[in-house]
């Protein structure tokens, strides 16, 4: 019996919104309409959607047409299947809002798509606006639009061009975006605006934000709930940036022995912040333990004790002696301001236990006065020993961010620690190879019995072998023991498999040939050659790639308007190489490539990351004809688009060795 593949959508995030039953139903509706009319337009959707039970009891056909007109200016615009699915999701969000989320709500509607009826937190909005006004006041472009009035919707209007998010990301993690790639004009056309949002979303993923179910259209429309949620994540990354042993080695003072140092390294930044706070509170004589940034801080006592311990010269006894929580919260904020902690929250926010604003406030206190001075040389030496070399750290970062971008249930803070029980890897495998995991044989954390971790990891290795990964003499216990070299090798194969599967799926109506590393190499070289450029790469470890010129020529070949050649250097000096590498990454993300490498990976020609970069550009390029491919019939017959024919012919005619 042949295996059932199901309906595949090239956008994994979009596919995750639907079950296969729902995808097959919607696919049949789409194909049926196209078979009858030769194409599907926006104007065809009202009659199609009205026949679906999901909408039939809520909307009239005219209401559906009016709803679609808000997103599409031209009802004669032809749409592909993915756009058909997105239109369905957007209409469904409006259906939930209109019907109050009752029985008509379909099971596949995800939380992020129902934000049309979410009330926004005005206090959080005011706090974020104050932060933006402060951090970006000197920005050459945004300065002309600041300060923003927190009582208005100016924040959402300003964000619609995409520049604000890009600038905030660069404040949070400097250098993430090459600002030369941002389209900065007072009036942007839709294409330029979409590029900014694409660059912003891909860069947000690249610094650790979760952006599953957020699309460029959400940002173009300035959806308040989604935008505030994204800004909140960016600011959190900025405020918690120093809460690790690399940035603040004095944090070893929080632990007693080497074992605890190891645990500290694997803790999420907010957990480290709580540990730091409790460390000082205990020394100050505060008898309770703070376990969260909400209910445990409502009475303001913990803040009063913390400031007394860290800055007795600005604190004093007044906040400790008052009995009114609101008055105490106000005194705490006044004392914190004397430490130059900006007042981004109000006494009311403390008393009501706003978790996001309290976390931001505690992080600010840490930045201005962490109170950690003594460094135990023995613990410090152990911490240094635990610190990875630069290349290993970059690879860990890349795989961590990639895993978190997949939208699995577990958030990974440290790859080497968080995957050792096998559960995260099983979640990833189930996401990239649906149906591969036997969940009946898996144990969900917390796992007390060590052999259960080994069982999970044994299944991980078994699936890896089924996917033809190179795992000679590798056992599940190697993962449990945290063998970094083996973990990086496994994760690399997993990422590469995912990329190659995406490419293969795009060509499902071609010969169905497996994509190889050599195919990607040939495609990139031929693309550059056909664009009239002279650069070529011998392999993915070709040292000439360090100049960055080849990838800029490749990006220009797939989208001629995307590279501003006046900004490109010859890449002869280290500084020029860095400028080109930074520009390459931002331009690729601006196109729509989801990549997690750093400029150093290009400059040093990291073979693995170079391959993924080339594959991501290839995926984006091949997806373009896929999106405009409309002549589909069932069963599917082999058809080659121009670009796909290039791939097939090139790989048949050239014998490039796999690097």
Helices 549-558 and 574-591, axial angle in degrees (round to 10): 20
Q: Whole-angstrom Cα distance, residue 517 to residue 539? A: 10
| 8 Å CB contact between 412 and 425 | no
> In terms of pLDDT, which residue wins out, 578 or 218?
578
What pTM was estimated for this model as a whole? Answer: 0.76
Q: Model confidence at 73, in pLDDT bands (50, 70, 90)?
A: confident
Among 82-91, 148-157, 392-401, which stretch is predicted with the lowest mean pLDDT? 82-91
Write down the pLDDT at residue 323. Answer: 85
pLDDT digits (tens, 9 = 90+) for 282-295: 998 998 999 999 99
Q: Model confidence at 218, in pLDDT bands (50, 70, 90)?
A: confident
* Bridge partners of residue 575, in order along the sequence: none
pLDDT, averaged across the chain: 83
* Bridge partners of residue 41, in order along the sequence: 78
* Cβ atoms within 10 Å of 525's Cβ, excluding its own: 20
Q: Whole-angstrom Cα distance, residue 137 to residue 261? A: 40
**Tokens 């952006």 -> residue:** 211
pLDDT digits (tens, 9 = 90+) for 567-602: 999 999 999 999 999 999 999 999 999 999 999 999
Closest Cα partner for 124 from 235, 18, 32, 206? 235
Q: Whole-angstrom Cα distance, residue 206 to residue 398? A: 8
User: What's the residue count for the chain?
Assistant: 659
pLDDT digits (tens, 9 = 90+) for 456-478: 999 999 999 999 999 988 999 99
Write down the pLDDT at residue 225. Answer: 86
Q: Whole-angstrom Cα distance, residue 603 to residue 580? A: 9
Write down the pLDDT at residue 314. Answer: 81
Share of the chain above pLDDT 90, in %: 52
DSSP helix/strand/coil, 151: coil
| 8 Å CB contact between 622 and 643 | yes
> In terms of pLDDT, which residue wins out, 20 or 596?
596
- 268's torsion region: left (phi>0), alpha (psi -120 to 50) or beta? beta
Among 140-144, 404-408, 418-422, 652-656, which stretch is predicted with the lowest mean pLDDT? 652-656
- 407's torsion region: left (phi>0), alpha (psi -120 to 50) or beta? left
* pLDDT over 70 at 6, yes or no: no
Interval 635-649 mean pLDDT? 36
Among 83-97, 346-360, 615-629, which stretch is predicted with the lowest mean pLDDT? 615-629
pLDDT digits (tens, 9 = 90+) for 505-533: 775 444 567 889 999 999 999 999 999 99
Q: What is the DSSP letter of 113?
A: G
Q: Whole-angstrom Cα distance, residue 573 to residue 73? A: 49
Write down the pLDDT at residue 610. Answer: 96
Interval 299-328 mean pLDDT? 87
Q: What's the CA dihedral at 289, 352, 349, 302 to 10 degrees?
A: -20
Write down the pLDDT at residue 383. Answer: 54
The 3-class secondary structure across 307-340, one letter per residue, is HHHHCCCCCCCHHHHCCCHHHHHHHHHHHHHCCC
Write down the pLDDT at residue 115. Answer: 33
What's CA 399's distance to the chain center, in Å?
12
Q: Model confidence at 606, in pLDDT bands (50, 70, 90)?
A: very high
* pLDDT over 50 at 4, yes or no: no
Share of the chain above pLDDT 70, in %: 85
* pLDDT over 50 at 629, yes or no: no
């Amino acid at each position: 019996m042949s295996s059932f593949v199901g309906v595949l959508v090239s956008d994994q995030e979009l596919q995750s919104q639907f079950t296969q039953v729902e995808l097959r139903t919607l696919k049949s509706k789409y194909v049926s309409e196209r078979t009858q009319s030769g194409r599907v337009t926006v104007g065809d959707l009202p009659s199609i959607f009205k026949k679906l039970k999901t909408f039939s009891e809520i909307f009239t056909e005219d209401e559906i047409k009016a709803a679609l007109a808000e997103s599409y200016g031209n009802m004669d615009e032809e749409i592909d299947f993915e756009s058909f699915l997105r239109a369905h999701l957007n209409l469904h969000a409006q259906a939930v809002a209109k019907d109050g989320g009752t029985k008509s709500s379909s099971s596949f509607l995800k939380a992020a798509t129902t934000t049309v009826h979410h009330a926004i937190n005005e206090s959080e909005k005011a706090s974020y606006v104050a932060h933006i006004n402060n951090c970006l006041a000197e920005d050459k472009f945004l300065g002309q639009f600041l300060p923003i009035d927190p009582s208005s919707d100016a924040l959402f209007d300003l964000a619609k061009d995409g520049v604000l998010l890009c600038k905030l990301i660069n404040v949070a993690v400097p250098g993430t975006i090459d600002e030369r790639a941002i389209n900065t004009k007072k009036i942007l056309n839709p294409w330029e605006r979409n590029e900014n949002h694409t660059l912003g979303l891909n860069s947000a993923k690249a610094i650790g934000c979760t952006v599953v179910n957020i699309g460029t259209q959400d940002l173009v429309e300035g959806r308040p709930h989604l935008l505030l949620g994204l800004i909140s994540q960016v600011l959190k990354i900025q405020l918690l940036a120093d809460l690790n042993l690399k940035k603040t080695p004095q944090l070893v003072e929080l632990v007693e022995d080497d074992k605890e140092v190891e645990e500290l390294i694997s803790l999420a930044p907010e957990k480290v912040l709580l540990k730091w706070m409790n460390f000082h509170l205990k020394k100050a004589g505060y008898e309770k333990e703070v376990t969260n940034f909400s209910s445990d801080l409502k009475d303001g006592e913990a803040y009063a004790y913390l400031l007394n311990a860290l800055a007795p010269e600005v604190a004093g006894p007044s906040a400790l002696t008052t009995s009114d929580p609101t008055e105490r919260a106000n005194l705490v904020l006044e004392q914190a301001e004397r430490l130059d902690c900006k007042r981004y929250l109000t006494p009311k926010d403390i008393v009501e236990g706003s978790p996001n604003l309290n976390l931001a406030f505690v992080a600010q206190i840490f930045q201005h006065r962490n109170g950690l001075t003594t460094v135990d040389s023995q613990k410090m030496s152990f911490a240094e020993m635990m610190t990875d070399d630069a290349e290993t750290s970059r690879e860990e970062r890349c795989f961590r961010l990639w895993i978190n971008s997949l939208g699995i249930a577990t958030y990974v803070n440290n790859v080497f620690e968080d995957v050792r029980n096998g559960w995260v890897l099983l979640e990833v495998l189930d996401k990239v190879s649906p149906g591969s995991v036997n969940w009946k044989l898996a144990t969900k954390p917390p796992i007390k019995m060590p052999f259960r971790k080994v069982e999970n990891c044994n299944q991980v290795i078994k699936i890896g072998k089924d996917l033809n990964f190179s795992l000679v003499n590798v056992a599940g216990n190697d993962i449990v023991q945290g063998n970094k070299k083996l973990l990086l090798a496994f994760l690399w194969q997993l990422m590469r498999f995912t990329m190659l599967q995406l490419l293969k799926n795009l060509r499902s109506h071609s010969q169905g040939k497996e994509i190889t590393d050599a195919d990607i190499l040939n495609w990139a070289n031929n693309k550059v050659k056909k664009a009239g450029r002279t650069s070529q790469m011998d392999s993915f470890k070709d040292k000439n790639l360090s100049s960055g010129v080849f990838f800029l020529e490749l990006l220009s070949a797939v989208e001629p308007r995307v590279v501003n050649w006046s900004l490109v250097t010859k890449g002869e000096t280290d500084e020029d190489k860095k400028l080109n590498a930074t520009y390459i990454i931002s331009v690729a993300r601006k196109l729509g490539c989801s990549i997690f490498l750093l400029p150093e990976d290009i400059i040093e020609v990291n073979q693995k990351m170079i391959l993924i970069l080339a594959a991501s550009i290839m995926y984006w390029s091949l997806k373009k004809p896929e999106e405009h491919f409309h002549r589909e019939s069932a069963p599917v017959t082999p058809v080659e688009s121009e670009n796909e024919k290039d791939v097939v012919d090139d790989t048949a005619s050239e014998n490039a060795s796999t690097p």
